[in-house]
Amino acid sequence: MTKQSSPLPVRIEVIEYQLPDNIETGISLIEQNPEWSIVEIEKKTGINTRYISDQHETALDLGLMAANKILVNNENLRSEIDVLIFVTQSPDYVLPASACILQEKLNLQTNCMAFDVNQGCSGFIYGMALSSSLITAGLANKVLLVCADTYTKYIAPDDRTCRPIFSDGAAATLISSSVESQIGPFELGTDGKGALNLLVENGGARQRSRGAIQDQKLFMDGAKVFMFSMSAVPKCVENLLHKTNKSISDIDLFVFHQASKLVLDNIIRHLSIPPEKVYCNYAQIGNTVSASIPIGLKDALDDGALKHGDLVMMVGFGVGYSWGACLLKWGVK
């Protein structure tokens, strides 16, 4: 998708995030799976710590806590937010939309538009595209974009492909119009031929129509997802650079979806990006799916890696297959 060619006058006001209390390390994995070589696994993933939601703790619960961190010291915001977007692939229910439940729990006004986006690792970029479009079209003034997932609820204890990678988490991002900050253009795409290579097969209408409802388990063909990433992501970045007449040297900071060390190292190598320009926090947090990019932005800001006036490229990619990238001129007004 290449239609949009100019940035939009939109800014991120604030980002907050919430991780579960339960922490899982490599020690936890080998206690349950003694045949695993945790040294080799962590060498490839680069992930040392994962956050696991409680049995009765959902993506909606984590999203609520993340959003309340923004709202707790500014009660007026509850009446100013006119759009709530909830990006998740682990909703509380098939229906209604989790965003409707979240609107009530956050005590937002009833004239607030609220809807879910079923998107994974590119979900934050898609959500930013929707948010900025609604604002510039005059349909919204302030958008609360909440990205939350609890993939670990779908992962079997002995799943060596998925369990060492995924974490649960949520991020809330407040987005509004701006006179200084800019977002875009966007580069977005989809290749549904890879849809079955990363999925939870059971639980939806397709399996119900066959009368075969079983445990809902996450399946990932790691090799095929890796090859997709190596094909789609560099091309996405290059297309966006070409569209904006920019080069790698013009970008102050890259924040990729925190897939794993193996994936990001190969993307960085393929594109010849100086490693110091790429912010990574997967080692401490893991792969939090749709929340990974906003969590990365928040950590980069807190660490001093993201500064006022920086030009940031954000890139999401994964389940679907889907991908998305955009530029963000980081400002405060």
The catalytically annotated residue of 121, 162, 236, 326 is 121
pTM: 0.94
Task: State the residue for tokens 């045949």.
Answer: 35
Q: Identify the helix (H) or strand (E) that includes residue 328.
A: strand 322-329
Task: State the residue for tokens 């670990």.
Answer: 152
Annotation marks residue 270 as catalytic:
no
The catalytically annotated residue of 257, 280, 281, 326 is 257
Sheet holding 253-256, edge to edge: 182-190, 322-329, 311-318, 253-256
Annotation marks residue 197 as catalytic:
no
Q: What pairing do the DSSP bridges indicate for beta strands 83-87 and 142-149?
A: parallel
Predicted pLDDT at 48: 95
The catalytically annotated residue of 197, 280, 287, 326 is 287
Annotation marks residue 257 as catalytic:
yes
- pLDDT truncated to tens, each residue of the chain (333 aa)? 555 567 888 999 999 999 999 999 999 899 999 999 999 999 999 999 999 999 999 999 999 999 999 999 888 999 999 999 999 999 999 999 999 999 999 999 999 999 999 999 999 999 999 999 999 999 999 999 999 999 999 999 999 999 999 999 999 999 998 877 789 999 999 999 999 999 998 777 776 655 545 678 998 999 999 999 999 999 999 999 999 999 999 999 999 999 999 999 999 999 999 999 999 999 999 999 999 999 999 999 999 999 999 999 999 999 999 999 999 999 765
Predicted pLDDT at 87: 98
Rounded (5°) CA angle 312-136-251: 10
Question: Which DSSP symbol is given to 151?
Answer: G
Cα–Cα distance for residue pair 239/217, rounded to 1 Å: 35
